[in-house]
Structure 1
Amino acid sequence: MMEQGMGFQEALEEVRRTTVFTTHTPVSAGTDVFPFAMMEKYLAHCCQDLGLDHRQFLDLGTHPQQPEAGFNTTAFALRMSRFANGVSRRHGEVAREIWGPLWPERPTEEVPIAAVTNGVHLPTWIDPHRLQPLFDRVLGPDWRERQDEPGLWDKVEEIPDEELWRLHQELKVRLIDHLHKRARPRWERRQVSAHNVIAAGALLDAKVLTLGFARRFTAYKRPDLLLRDRNRLKRLVTDPLRPVQIIFAGKAHPADTEGKRLVQEVFRLCQDPEFAGRLAFVEDYDQALASYLVRGVDVWLNNPVPPLEASGTSGMKASMNGTLNCSILDGWWIEGFNGKNGWAFGEEYSGEGDRFPADAEALFRLLEEQVVPLYYAYNGGIPKGWVRRMKESIKTVAPLFGTRRMVREYVERFYVPALGLHPNGTVS
């Protein structure tokens, strides 16, 4: 544009007019910051060709509170965008606090960073062999095209309790069988010890209440929240009348030393005979394994340090399959939780410093006093209170946390205005 005769400021405004930027994490490791010397080395010729003072360009990526830190790519993107957003309402609030210094003249609530909550693709993540045919029958064969209509999902209440529970049990058996099949060949080939085979899930039982924790392993996501009180965890999982089992899965970033240590810690605990094979760590976590887990476990655990979970999407995938979330109130769950479609904890903590002990206590109490008793409260062959929550989970999460709603929101709020279009698609 400058080659066509535009001045720098004019070209800047033209780029900004049609640019939309989404920030995906409040965690500092998610923002690339490059040394100014490196930026000058690789971009000096561009500035020279455009007749642009290099300092003028570098200022676009300079954080006012950290002027010597380097070229901040998120600060640059925010300054170069007409619209910016976080990926949940809470993340939008946090992003406005973090990046408010870029607009020192504005109060935090007026910092121009909005929020569009993430969504997931329903046809990909809802079980295609059992639940989608069920929804075809109950919601109508066009439910995929109407998925963001909340009223449509009220029909989930028409599903017989016995049928929904039976289908969930089939998905759970499918998950456990899959994990057994993964573990067995290793033992047959004598490639691993018996302890490792058990740690991979060889003793998991489809009749037992099953919790799932599967995501990237990193410190703020706290995969070890239940592990530090070993005696209490042992009592929970080995209860003779109401046992619990926990399946862990996930990988750490190669450069995340603490994340890799957490993987090792969890795996060692899963090997411990004290826990009677009720803890499992499944290796090689990928999308295929995730699909088994979100459909087959009973409860989806999520316990990051607030407010560091920008959104989270695995819990959405689980909820749409009738798997109940048990999550700290952060990210998308602040919007998704209604008191009847899962469980929340952590809201009572208001102190400073390490909240780990308080959150661990809250999660243990929630599991011991509410989750476990409800699962094992059978009436007429099924846990009716549990199934009631399953239905509430499906009908409240599916219409609001799908990609159809998310994309529509991006288009209407940002893309259409950025392109200078009217809502009907004509040029303004």
Structure 2
Amino acid sequence: MVHFMGAKHRKIAYFSMEIGLKNEMPTYSGGLGILAGDTIKASADLGLPLVGVTLLNRRGYFMQELDEEGTQTEHPQEWSPADYMELLPAEVTVLIKGHDVKVQAWLYEHHSLTEEVVPVLFLDTDVEGNSLDDRKITDSLYGGDRSYRLKQEIVLGVGGVRMLDELGFKITKYHMNEGHSSLLGIELLRRNGMSVDKVKELCVFTTHTPIESGHDVFSHDVVAELIGENSDLETLKKYGGEHQLNMTLLGLNLSNYVNGVAKRHRQISEKMFPGYKFSSITNGVHSYTWVCQHFRDLYDTYLPGWANEPELLVRVRSIPDNEIWDAHKRAKKDLIDYANAECGVGMNYDTLTIGFARRFTEYKRPTLIFSDLDRLRKVNEAGNIQLIFAGKAHPRDIMGKVLIERIFEYIDELKGEIKIAFLENYNMELGLKMVSGVDIWLNNPKKPLEASGTSGMKAAHNGVVNFSVLDGWWLEGCVEGVTGYSIGPKPEVDKSPEQVEMIELDDLYNKLEYIMIPKYYCRKDEWISLMNNSIEMIAYYFNTHRMMHRYVTEAYL
């Protein structure tokens, strides 16, 4: 057995299919992975005894290439783990399709500004002695078919528990960040004499999606083929579903503490899984990571210690307004220069700039603002606007890809009237440019499909004004006209989905034309007050330091 330095002091194992820690390490696809990375970073800042467990993803998620029509092509994102991590000598095996598959681990150490360290284990099956197929299991994040996905989840859940054990970690809590790692519960049952009570005491489960398709489900035929042991199959049927294996259900049945990621999401989750009691811990973002350099410098000057104590951002009014505005102008210049260099759109620094960047999929409605072009033109006549988009569509999400192409059609249709850019290959670096460089952060998913959302929290950290439907975290963060603006009615309104969308569209255009544009162009002091409120009332609270304090006191202790 390899005894890992400091391992015996690590108590909480945090399992996530993806963990995004550095732009250069493509081990994430979007919100779930970035949240997991922010969790690791905040835990290090706070000196929490955490160890992360995830998959290596040797070929990344994908590099996005867009042609002149907006057609998306995906390319592997080859990278070298050895540039950032150390390959550990430990090796474990997991049983897949009746044979042993070897699993090794790469160690990445996240060093906090507080000089604390959180280790993250990246599991990898590209090991000598494995078959060619088995060596590819940890190649692609969310790639392949259902069989490939289940193989990955066996490696993550079962292989992860065994690797921690092999490295000498003493784990008192296993935190499953979404259902991908739920098979760890089966491994823990084996180790605890099949005592469900003992396993539930060890496990914490967080669900992140109110969408049916977001919950991994496998047919028992696929499960039987890959897992194969009768006793395991019966256990999986008992705790993961009689007719098919539902990984969320498995996590729910084997955890004493279960939570959604916003207050509203808790209610939705309890409707999706009747009979289960959910807590809620609203997501946050890692403040230091998601504040651009211009605002970091400002906060360092006026709010020393903010990086490790983001609640100090509540004192933002000690910073002169003109310095807040100057920092924003510099961040905006960085983004506009980048957009002009990439897209040749000739955007300018003084125009009200609206940003929309996230995973491109139908329920997020990226084209909503273009629903009525005549109304949009009228908005633009009230005061010029320019729009910047970014985001990847999953390789198999045909509609997501079509929506990117539609935005390129609108770029052509509105040429000479409204400047629009679509920036390709959305990643952490571009994300920071956007959440700090636009004036308005637009978010308009179909309700109630936003579990939490975190991009708006990042925008608020940089004084950017949120404009969003009342769903996810924004239900908790929005004070109308004070911290930003809502789009459409509250969730409990008794209207059809079609009626709700009409109200949302009216709200979207009207608030832009009659409230936000006049405020931005004619009453700058009121606009800067909105920016201050965003930092003072949103950023100080919606951060991963606050979030991890909640997990420690409610889930881990």
Q: What is the rounded CA distance, in whole Å, between the counterparts of 1:178 and 1:279 in structure 2? A: 13
Deviation at 1:375, TM superposition (A): 0.4
One-letter code of the match for 1:145? N
**Aligned residue runs from structure 1 range 316-331, under 5 A:** 316-331=457-472
Task: Give the aligned partner of residue 363 of structure 1.
Answer: 508
Quick one: which of 11, 18, 25 aligns to 2:209?
A: 25
**Local SS of the residue matching 1:226:** helix
Deviation at 1:138, TM superposition (A): 1.6
Task: Give the aligned partner of residue 13 of structure 2.
Answer: none
Describe the shift of the 1:121–1:53 C-alpha distance in structure 2 as closer, same or farther (beyond 3 A): closer
**Local SS of the residue matching 1:315:** helix
Describe the shift of the 1:299–1:227 C-alpha distance in structure 2 as closer, same or farther (beyond 3 A): same
8 Å CA contact 1:86–1:92 kept in 2: the answer is: yes
> Per-residue displacement from partner, 1:145-194 (whole Å, max 9, x unpaired)?
2223xxx33421122222211221111111111112223xxxxxxxxxxx
Q: What is the rounded CA distance, in whole Å, between the counterparts of 1:26 and 1:155 in structure 2? A: 35
Task: Give the aligned partner of residue 238 of structure 2.
Answer: 59
Quick one: which of 335, 342, 352 aligns to 2:496?
A: 352
One-letter code of the match for 2:488? G
**Aligned residue runs from structure 1 range 251-262, under 5 A:** 251-262=392-403
Quick one: which of 196, 221, 224 aligns to 1:37?
A: 221
Deviation at 1:271, TM superposition (A): 2.3
Task: Give the aligned partner of residue 445 of structure 2.
Answer: 304
Task: Give the aligned partner of residue 76 of structure 2.
Answer: none
Q: What is the rounded CA distance, in whole Å, between the counterparts of 2:413 and 2:336 in structure 1? A: 20
Higher helix fraction: Structure 1 or Structure 2? 1
8 Å CA contact 2:366–2:444 kept in 1: the answer is: yes
Q: What is the rounded CA distance, in whole Å, between the counterparts of 1:343 and 1:358 in structure 2? A: 14
Deviation at 1:274, TM superposition (A): 4.4
Quick one: which of 410, 429, 433 aligns to 1:292?
A: 433
> Is 2:299 aligned against 1:135?
yes
One-letter code of the match for 1:136? D
8 Å CA contact 1:234–1:275 kept in 2: the answer is: no
Deviation at 1:82, TM superposition (A): 1.0
> Is 2:227 aligned against 1:227?
no
Deviation at 1:54, TM superposition (A): 3.5
- RMSD after superposition: 1.8
| Higher relative contact order structure (alpha carbons within 8 Å, sequence separation ≥ 6) | 1
**Aligned residue runs from structure 1 range 241-252, under 5 A:** 242-252=383-393
8 Å CA contact 2:489–2:503 kept in 1: the answer is: no
One-letter code of the match for 2:394? H
Higher strand fraction: Structure 1 or Structure 2? 2
One-letter code of the match for 2:487? F
Stretches of structure 1 lacking an aligned partner (at least 5 in a row) = 104-110, 184-196, 417-428
Quick one: which of 164, 177, 180 aligns to 2:340?
A: 180
> Is 2:308 aligned against 1:145?
yes
One-letter code of the match for 1:224? T
**Local SS of the residue matching 1:38:** helix
> Is 2:316 aligned against 1:126?
no
Q: What is the rounded CA distance, in whole Å, between the counterparts of 2:218 and 2:365 in structure 1? A: 29
Deviation at 1:359, TM superposition (A): 1.3
Task: Give the aligned partner of residue 14 of structure 1.
Answer: 198
One-letter code of the match for 2:339? L
Q: What is the rounded CA distance, in whole Å, between the counterparts of 1:16 and 1:290 in structure 2? A: 37
Task: Give the aligned partner of residue 189 of structure 1.
Answer: none
Aligned positions, number: 366
**Local SS of the residue matching 2:452:** coil
One-letter code of the match for 1:91? H
**Aligned residue runs from structure 1 range 59-208, under 5 A:** 59-62=238-241, 68=243, 70-100=244-274, 103=275, 111-128=276-293, 130-139=294-303, 141-148=304-311, 152-183=312-343, 197=344, 202-208=345-351
> Is 2:466 aligned against 1:332?
no
8 Å CA contact 2:192–2:199 kept in 1: the answer is: no
8 Å CA contact 1:234–1:274 kept in 2: the answer is: no
Deviation at 1:3, TM superposition (A): 6.5
One-letter code of the match for 1:369? Y
Describe the shift of the 1:289–1:54 C-alpha distance in structure 2 as closer, same or farther (beyond 3 A): closer
Quick one: which of 401, 413, 417 aligns to 1:272?
A: 413
One-letter code of the match for 1:242? G
Q: What is the rounded CA distance, in whole Å, between the counterparts of 1:154 and 1:15 in structure 2? A: 41
One-letter code of the match for 1:33? V
Task: Give the aligned partner of residue 136 of structure 2.
Answer: none
> Per-residue displacement from partner, 1:199-243 (whole Å, max 9, x unpaired)?
xxx221111000001111111111111112111112323x2x611
**Local SS of the residue matching 2:379:** helix
**Local SS of the residue matching 2:228:** helix
Describe the shift of the 1:59–1:367 C-alpha distance in structure 2 as closer, same or farther (beyond 3 A): same
Question: Which has the higher mean CA deviation after the structures are superposed, 310-319 or 284-293?
Answer: 284-293
One-letter code of the match for 2:302? V
Task: Give the aligned partner of residue 396 of structure 1.
Answer: 537
**Local SS of the residue matching 2:240:** coil
One-letter code of the match for 1:59? K
One-letter code of the match for 1:372? I
Task: Give the aligned partner of residue 91 of structure 2.
Answer: none
Quick one: which of 437, 456, 459 aligns to 1:315?
A: 456
> Is 2:519 aligned against 1:374?
yes
Q: Deviating runs (4+, > 4 A) in structure 1?
A: 1-5
8 Å CA contact 2:386–2:419 kept in 1: the answer is: yes
Stretches of structure 2 lacking an aligned partner (at least 5 in a row) = 1-187
Task: Give the aligned partner of residue 357 of structure 2.
Answer: 214
Q: What is the rounded CA distance, in whole Å, between the counterparts of 2:399 and 2:545 in structure 1? A: 36
Deviation at 1:357, TM superposition (A): 2.4
Q: What is the rounded CA distance, in whole Å, between the counterparts of 2:235 and 2:384 in structure 1? A: 63
> Per-residue displacement from partner, 1:74-124 (whole Å, max 9, x unpaired)?
111111111111111111111111111xx2xxxxxxx42111111111111
Q: What is the rounded CA distance, in whole Å, between the counterparts of 2:513 and 2:494 in structure 1? A: 23
> Per-residue displacement from partner, 1:231-262 (whole Å, max 9, x unpaired)?
1112323x2x6111111111111111111111
8 Å CA contact 2:354–2:438 kept in 1: the answer is: yes
Q: What is the rounded CA distance, in whole Å, between the counterparts of 1:5 and 1:122 in structure 2? A: 39
